[in-house]
């Protein structure tokens, strides 16, 4: 088993598109998993997306 993630210079750090895969899980065009993080400040909500490490899933 590899100890380090593979280096992929052709893979951009941020996706162009996301598709809903499961509830609260999105996939990008490179089949990387993203999780939404909702932050609420004084009744205003903002959502961030966090990339899942595929080695730990």
**Per-residue pLDDT tens digits for 13-55:** 788 899 999 998 999 988 889 888 877 777 777 777 777 675 5
pLDDT reported for residue 36: 86
How many structural domains comprise the chain?
Answer: 1
Q: Does a structural domain hold residue 40?
A: yes
Instruction: Tell me the residue range of the domain where 47 lies.
Output: 18-51
Q: Does a structural domain hold residue 2?
A: no
**Rounded-to-integer distance, Cα 48 and Cα 57, Å:** 20
**Rounded-to-integer distance, Cα 39 and Cα 15, Å:** 21
Q: Does a structural domain hold residue 33?
A: yes
């Amino acid at each position: 088993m590899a100890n380090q993630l593979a280096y992929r210079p052709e893979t951009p750090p941020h996706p162009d598109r996301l598709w809903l895969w499961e509830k609260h899980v999105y996939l990008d065009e490179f089949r990387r998993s993203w999780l939404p993080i909702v932050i609420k400040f004084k009744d205003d909500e903002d959502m961030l997306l966090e990339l899942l490490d595929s080695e730990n899933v």
